[in-house]
Structure 1
Amino acid sequence: MNKKMNRAGAALAAAVLCAMMTLAAPGAFAEAAPQAVSQADGARLQLRWELQRKPAGLQLPQGGSPARFTLINADSQPLPPSGWSLYFTGIDRMPSGAQSSGLVLEHVAGGLFRLRPGPDFKGLGPGQTLAFDYRHNDSVFMPSRSPTAPYLVYDAAPDVGVPLQYTLTPVLEPAQRGKVGSPHSFVTPEDTYWRNARAGLLPAAQVPPVLPTPLRLEPGAGRLALAGRPAVTASAALANEAALARSLFASSLPASGGPALHLSVGKVEGQDSPEAYRLRITAAGGIDIVGNSAAGVAYGVQTLRELLPLPGSAVMDLPEMSIIDAPRFGYRGFMLDVARNFHGKETVFKWLDLMARFKLNKFHFHLTDDEGWRIEIAGLPELTTIGAVRGHSARPGVRLQPAYGSGPDPRDPRGSGHYTREDYKEILRYAQARHIEVIPEIEMPGHARAAVQAMEARYHRLKNAGGRDAARYLLSDLDDRSEYSSAQYFNDNVINPGLESSYTFIDHVVKEVAALHREAGAPLKTIHMGGDELANGAWEKSPASDAWKRKHGLESSADLWDYFYERVDAIVRKHGMTTSGWEELAARKTVLDGGSKLIPNPRFTRSGFTAYVWNNTVGLEDLAYRLANGGYDIVLTPVTRMYFDMAHNANPEEHGVNWGAYVELQTVYDFIPFDIMKDAPEAARMGKDRLTDYGKRRVRGIQANLFAETARDPARIDYLVMPRMVALAERAWAADPGWATTQDPVKAEVLHRGAWSGFVNALGQRVLPRLDLDGTRLAYRIAPPGLVTEDGRVLANHVLPGMQLRYTSDGSEPSASSRLVTGPILERGTIRVAAFDRNGRRGAVAAIESR
């Protein structure tokens, strides 16, 4: 920090310190004595950030977007010329060293930045304003990239961070509005209308009755009346499934007089999958569900849920039918990241319920990363007392730095938090009751800063106390001078493979996590051991790693990587599990024609690794197929299709990030697991590997991921995940649709239009209304309507036919009492239209001028 202070601002006032005390950790002011008032209280400073409009024709070097901080001193005391720093967090790299109005922008570490006074800064008097102009590094800007959670720290009280009053000026347009053909182009209401027009409103009788689509459905002629709640019979082994079945029927039904509902485990004819089921509904015999296992029975009950009339329907009956169903893939996964922003067990329970509802069966639990360690490990309390807490501190080893908007307060519920051992076991039991396997992820060797910092703090504490085993779990070479920058801009986030203590730590953590699973009655089969995004340059100047390479005859860091994961795999196997990890576990970096290339690593093909392959960006579209063809079991989780933290499109009102792609609902729906580039141009497909028959057998399934950098609120998770999760379930459970396999492009288009229409009508008329009405309380995304003008009329539609549209013509925002769209809108003026769910919750508003 800048230690130069003028005499008038040499110390903080008692009043300011008292205001700050509520945000500080106990003991934070042991070295800061309150003195006379002489400088502005940070709580009275106001900061505004805005993206500046680029002047017409301006070409910024290497891209970039002009941006501005505006600082307003609303206090009666001055902000002094020196002796303070203004911190904030962000997702993107920002131009460290940029100067404006006497201030200097600096990168602290990771996503933490600060503005500090330079030598030419003269202070900011009461009522004065200054503007700090700079060029944001990225020229394609999303609102999620806005700086967040600014706070002021005076050098005289370096442990005290005071949040500023902060305003974000809304981003009004994407960086490439109107640029034809760019994926970052603005999506107009007209664009949306013509895209939505591919699916019209279907009569109720033509709407698919169940999602995900069953393998075989044979409708009957009659209907089964629900005169009362069904009498459920099942063996004791199906107690959970019987309880689920009873919960489906409205309490308004009479307690008795309903049809028989029988659940049993038995052979489903023609189906070998343990998750297969048969559901029969007849007017004479009631409801019969048979599964090859209890999981199959549970999926049959979930299908029954989808067949029931919507809550509140006047007529309560079921159509006669017979369904035989089984999943396409045995692995149908969803990953939730709780490291970047923490979410408690109630949020996890909600998503486990929704996973079960849509027949997903693998919960990938991203528990650790640079910005947080979220699971209690017996014997290593620092992992949660330090690694699970974010907030401001001038001293190392106290807590992690702020990130992703968590700010200076260590009590922030998203920056700080973890699952106790009992919390975690409760989650495991909850998932097991829903036939969901929890696959915990312990990220390494990169993305491990929370663990590295925690174990360094442990080391220094024990060393200072004279402990002989201080370095027992140390993860970092304290003499390492390697130069690198990780994907999140850290240079100290890597576990060092040249320390035996690293493997002692990994063994202890794996042992303790496995023990938690055993204690919960849900033994761990595989553990995800990370492997993601090790930064180039890591380990290259580590004396410990150099010595390790010499000792074991290793020539390069790539060899050291192989050695590291051989040791990790041995640890995992020792505890009775197999190893899973990101694609880097199965790939090896090499050079082809002077450029970097990833190839299947021959070293681990017989180790039983499961590789989760996310990178299908340009040039690596076929990486998953090359790994599968090379002998690795893989889970497909492509960033351009299955990353639910990606924004739906480039429009400024959308949430999420866009570093990999934009992912609309149809983007997920159109994913073809065995032909990921089917809809790519022929030129892009040339030279790319396709799946061999052998490779197809190595594809275990598909998974969607929700990294939580921008998801601080549980409702934001709702928005990002649903209804895209239903499209994931459709692709993971149902067989390839006809449009995916036909070679005739004209026929494929016709088949696709029909299948897509059925899917979105089912969402709009049945699936989402049921979630609205059954108490699920899910704030799923309600997309903006499409609008066009035609012959003096405004036409409106929605991606989900059946959603209720309401409008105004006076420029005001539509509400749940605004006029319904029942046909063309004939009024003149500014027409604003929005869709509403069954509870009156409004989605994004679209507007168009009608003259």
Structure 2
Amino acid sequence: MAAILLAALVALPAPTVLAAQGAAVASVANPARLELRWEMQRQPAGLQLPQGGSPARFTLTNKDNAPLPASGWSLYLSGIDRMPAGAQSNGLVLEEVAGSLFRLRPGPDFKGLAPGQTLEFAYRHRDSVFMPSRSPAGPYLVYDAAPDMGVPLPYTVTPLKEPPQRGKVGSPHSAVTPEDTYWRNARAELLPASKVPPVLPTPLALQTGAGRLVLAGRPVIKASATLANETALAGSLFPSSLPAGGGPALRLSVGTVEGQDSPEAYRLTIDARSGIDIVGNSAAGVAHGLQSLRDLMPLPGAADPSLPELTIVDAPRFGYRGFMLDVARNFQSKETVLKWLDLMARFKLNKFHFHLTDDEGWRIEIAGLPELTTIGAVRGHSAKPGVRLQPAYGSGPDPRDPAGSGYYSRADYLEILRYAAARHIEVIPEIEMPGHARAAVQAMESRYHRLKSAGSRDAARYLLNDLEDRSDYLSAQYFKDNVINPGLESSYTFIEHVVREMAALHREAGVPLKTIHMGGDELANGAWEKSPASEAWKRKHGLESSADLWDYFYERVDAIVRKHGMFTSGWEELAARKTRLDGASKLIPNPRFTRNGFTAYVWNNTVGLEDLAYRLANSGYDIVLTPVTRMYFDMAHNANPEEHGVNWGAYVELDTVYDFIPFDIMKDAPDAARAGKDRLTDYGKRRVRGIQANLFAETARDPARLDYLVMPRMVALAERAWAADPAWATTLDQNKAAVLHRDDWTGFVNALGQRVLPRLDLDGSNVAYRIAPPGLVLDGGRVLANHVLPGMVLRYTSDGSEPTAASSVVSGPILERGMIRVAAFDRQGRRGPVAAIESP
């Protein structure tokens, strides 16, 4: 089962047994009665802080009847953003443990904290931090007298009420006001139901008829035995409330969809007399046709159980339509993974990129290497190295924390593979290397020490790090020891073992592995530079630099992958080479691997690298477009502090995803920004396999947070991956393009608000998608309200109270005076954020 934790793990002692740890601990404050608060602070007027700096403070209150002593304890916490190691305040010192784990310790001037007392620790973040999801998390206290015992502290975060650049025109970090939201929403209007596009993603061709097919009962399904999965899906589309007999004929078949070469093409015909026919070029095409039929079905509980007469001929634009889920940073259960596979299938996505390993967790059972899961899949406090991984992302001291610890057993993974295959989704596992590999590195080092102490001659067989390495580097997540060493033959033995076992799992599931994603991103500068093993390897193989060593490493990795009948995929760094131009760092296409058949997932389109994906494609690499500024769903929607997510790359609103044009990434950029950037050649266009959205889960500790971050942005991803370029994307006349865009956007958001999301509310899908705040604006003596998704129910109050599911519905201008508060509600009464405006 998912989230397996080894039975040998013993729970940390509870605070009530502190006395059992000895008199030195029993006479001091119980950590559970120490209250910690973290506050983001606004920069004082007139004080110029360093670029991106953010003032913050911890406030610690002792609510116990015993003191927090002057020495002999540490307060641990983790954070996404690096805090200033060495900072001191009120006798306390901030120290960096490793990566994002820090601790506050008493310095020589600390006098202790008596019962009832409060102290502050003020410091300055190195980056701009104003979103609660980026705050330090998971604090716990450890007494030196009980070094294996970590006790969580009651903890609150006090956010800023607005971002730090509220008045700065043009800044992406400026506040988004209800007025801003109103005018952004005003680009779309409410459409009558008859004008709402009937299917998302938009089909290639749709021809409507004049009549309707009445659903008098459940359909009679006719299909071959080879379409058993599709037959089951077809049956699930029709409500059980319909009579068992008397329904229309529903015929499913694999045949030929005229004019369409894609194996995923389908033709759907609904006729009032003959019933429903779905023909696909393959079973996948039939399944896609059924998902379109789902879209056309009346909403659960609708008074008119009928379907419109129509014919749809449809095929995807891209053969690769992907979604990546990171389960390494914060673990997600098998059930959550299956839920997202269902949602992917619903919107015709077909590639599930499974980010199984990273610095903070290894999440897949590998036969023969139990340490990968007994150590690499477990996070929690330990005084001894090599027992488990350190806490991260708020997982705290307890190794039973479900987000910090857990992995998929072989049985779990087989079930996931078969579940995906039944929905025509390819699972592409990712094994991160050579960077982002701390979980594996630590697990294999622990294995080495255990076997060596037992006298084994084979202790170093899978060792991944050079124990004499003195390289000085810092990874993107602030680790100094997270890299697989390419100068050790044992590194390649480990990779061979893991690749072989992954391939065997896929064969056992009946879905042979076509490609494995071998990582490659964010190798820290300086890694390997002072490793005796790497230096010896370079001399042995005539390599001049670390860049050459990188090439050697991936030549070996690619040979291993090919040996098992697969091709190699990885992040863009696999296809790029670091060099320098005029003294500055530059990434260029690496000529060494253009003939190896690599697929590069290109995420970096930040300033200066906007055209990197096109340069790689033009040079001969197959690529998947997954740009951080458009397709990273862990990015917050905007800069308002109440929004969840990160913002290191961009802010990604629903329309940010919708407006992405795969073959013209910089379409909406000013001319000056486009100058000197490579465009995609016709040859390069043929190398673009498709597009993918990524969800890195640093801030997503529970399934509801995943729902919020991914939906409904996933539908915009599906639209761009499946449908052809809309006319507004290729029209040269900017005024005409603006009109076309407004029409298409209006249709898309009306389909979401009136049909797609209400269906998720009513059909038991259990998706806590983001309900955006409404827009508000004063118009004379009235308040106008709107929503990004026309059709969402808006409710309001005028007495300053919070709107509820029983509050008045916004049906036009709000004429009451006072503090007007408005919120959107889904069909189950779930409320989104409240927007407020004063109506004098």
Q: 1:200-239 to 2 correspondence within 5 Å? A: 200-239=189-228
Corresponding residue for 2:321? 332
Q: Which amino acid aligns with 1:92?
A: D
Q: Which amino acid aligns with 2:116?
A: G
8 A contact 2:132–2:157 mirrored in 1: no
Deviations 1:337-384 (A, max 9, x none): 000000011000000000000000000000000000000000000000
Q: Which amino acid aligns with 1:340?
A: R
1:97 CA drift (Å): 0.5
Correspondent of 1:57 among 13, 28, 46: 46
Correspondent of 1:78 among 63, 67, 81: 67
Alpha-carbon distance in 2 for matches of 1:167, 1:140: 16
Q: Does 1:710 align with 2:696?
A: no
Deviations 1:56-105 (A, max 9, x none): 23211333111110111111111111111100010001111010000001
Q: Does 1:399 align with 2:388?
A: yes
Q: 1:422-441 to 2 correspondence within 5 Å? A: 422-441=411-430
Q: Which moved more, 1:430-439 or 1:116-125?
A: 116-125
Q: Does 1:97 align with 2:86?
A: yes
Corresponding residue for 2:522? 533
8 A contact 2:68–2:112 mirrored in 1: yes
Correspondent of 1:848 among 816, 826, 837: 837
Corresponding residue for 2:636? 647
Q: Which amino acid aligns with 1:213?
A: T
- Matched position secondary structure for 1:640: helix
Corresponding residue for 2:554? 565
Closer, same or farther: CA 383–334 of 1 in aligned 2, 3 Å = same
Corresponding residue for 1:307? 296
Corresponding residue for 2:729? 740
Corresponding residue for 2:608? 619
Alpha-carbon distance in 1 for matches of 2:668, 2:25: 69
8 A contact 2:41–2:160 mirrored in 1: no
Q: 1:711-730 to 2 correspondence within 5 Å? A: 711-730=700-719
Q: Which amino acid aligns with 2:805?
A: A
Alpha-carbon distance in 1 for matches of 2:88, 2:463: 39
Corresponding residue for 1:609? 598
Q: 1:334-413 to 2 correspondence within 5 Å? A: 334-413=323-402
Q: Does 1:88 align with 2:66?
A: no
Q: 1:471-550 to 2 correspondence within 5 Å? A: 471-550=460-539
8 A contact 1:140–1:176 mirrored in 2: no
Q: Which amino acid aligns with 1:827?
A: E
Q: Which amino acid aligns with 1:759?
A: F
1:107 CA drift (Å): 1.1
Alpha-carbon distance in 1 for matches of 2:25, 2:58: 30
Q: Which amino acid aligns with 2:343?
A: L
Correspondent of 1:242 among 204, 210, 231: 231
Q: Which amino acid aligns with 1:608?
A: G
1:34 CA drift (Å): 5.5
Deviations 1:768-812 (A, max 9, x none): 011111010110000000000011100000000000000001111
Correspondent of 2:311 among 311, 316, 322: 322
**When the two structures are superposed, what TM-score results if normalisation uses the length of structure 1?**
0.96
8 A contact 2:40–2:129 mirrored in 1: no
Correspondent of 2:272 among 271, 283, 286: 283
**When the two structures are superposed, what TM-score results if normalisation uses the length of structure 2?**
0.98
Alpha-carbon distance in 2 for matches of 1:781, 1:639: 20
Deviations 1:513-564 (A, max 9, x none): 1100000001000000000100000000000000000000000000000000
1:569 CA drift (Å): 0.2
Alpha-carbon distance in 1 for matches of 2:52, 2:88: 19
Q: Which amino acid aligns with 1:265?
A: V
1:32 CA drift (Å): 6.0
The gaps in structure 2 that reach 5 residues or longer are 1-9
Alpha-carbon distance in 2 for matches of 1:448, 1:24: 31
1:139 CA drift (Å): 2.4
Q: Does 1:110 align with 2:99?
A: yes
Alpha-carbon distance in 1 for matches of 2:363, 2:13: 22
8 A contact 2:25–2:143 mirrored in 1: no
8 A contact 1:370–1:447 mirrored in 2: yes
Corresponding residue for 1:39? 28
- Matched position secondary structure for 2:26: coil
1:310 CA drift (Å): 0.6
1:402 CA drift (Å): 0.2
Q: 1:121-140 to 2 correspondence within 5 Å? A: 121-140=110-129
Correspondent of 1:659 among 648, 651, 672: 648
Q: Which amino acid aligns with 2:735?
A: V
Q: Does 1:790 align with 2:779?
A: yes
- Matched position secondary structure for 2:597: coil
Q: Which amino acid aligns with 2:390?
A: Q
Alpha-carbon distance in 2 for matches of 1:402, 1:713: 16
Alpha-carbon distance in 2 for matches of 1:276, 1:632: 26
Q: 1:826-837 to 2 correspondence within 5 Å? A: 826-837=815-826
Q: Does 1:255 align with 2:244?
A: yes
Alpha-carbon distance in 2 for matches of 1:722, 1:62: 34
Q: Which amino acid aligns with 1:449?
A: R
Alpha-carbon distance in 1 for matches of 2:748, 2:646: 26
Q: 1:152-163 to 2 correspondence within 5 Å? A: 152-163=141-152
Q: Which moved more, 1:333-342 or 1:119-128?
A: 119-128
Deviations 1:555-577 (A, max 9, x none): 00000000000000000000111
Deviations 1:687-726 (A, max 9, x none): 0000000000000000000000000010000000000000
Alpha-carbon distance in 1 for matches of 2:547, 2:52: 33
Correspondent of 1:585 among 574, 588, 592: 574
1:140 CA drift (Å): 4.6
Correspondent of 1:682 among 666, 671, 674: 671
Q: Does 1:172 align with 2:161?
A: yes
